[in-house]
Amino acid sequence: MVTLYIYKPINTNTMEKKKEITSFLIDIFDRIVIDTPNNFDEILEFVYEDVCETADPDNWHDGDVAIAFRRWVEEQSNKTDIIEAWDEIEETITSFNELTNEELIDCKSSILNRLNKALSLLDKYVPEQD
C-alpha cells in the first residue's frame, strides 16, 4: 500500500492550526487503523510544537504533521529504553542494599547481567570514543 500525502499549504492562526493538525493526526490514525489514543492531547501538543519549530510557518502541510508524528513515535521508543535501563539499575542498587556480602557473591552473575543489559540499552545514546 502506498501512502500519498496531499501537500496542501495552510496559512492559519494558532487555534485553526491545531484544529488542522488534529484532523491530519486523526487521518494518520485512520490510515494505520488505530483508535484515537488516550494520550492524544500529549501527541497533539508535541506535533504542534514540532510543526511550529520545523515547518514553514506559512506553507506547512500534512507531510510536516506526518514527520512530526514519526518524531513523537521515535521519542517514545527512546523513553522505553531509558526506563528499562533505569529499572535494571534500580534492581541492582536494591540488591546491593538488601543482600549480604555472601549473597552478593552468589548473585554476581545476575547483577552483572543486569548492568550489562542497562549498558546495552543506553549504548546508542553515548557517542563512540576513539
Give Cβ neighbours of residue 63 (< 8 Å, ≥ 6 apart): 5, 7
In this prediction the pTM is 0.60
All three cell numbers of 53: 519549530
Q: Phi, psi at residue 10, to the nearest 5°?
A: -130, 130
Task: From residue 70, give the alpha-carbon distance in Å to each of 35, 43, 65, 106, 126.
Answer: 17, 11, 9, 45, 22
Domain boundaries, the chain: 14-125
**Backbone Cα Rg of the chain:** 22
Q: What tens digit of pLDDT does each residue of 25-50 get? A: 999 999 888 899 999 999 999 999 99
Q: Which residues of the chain are modeled with pLDDT < 70? A: 1-12, 129-130
* Side-chain half-sphere exposure of 65, counting CA atoms within 13 A: 27
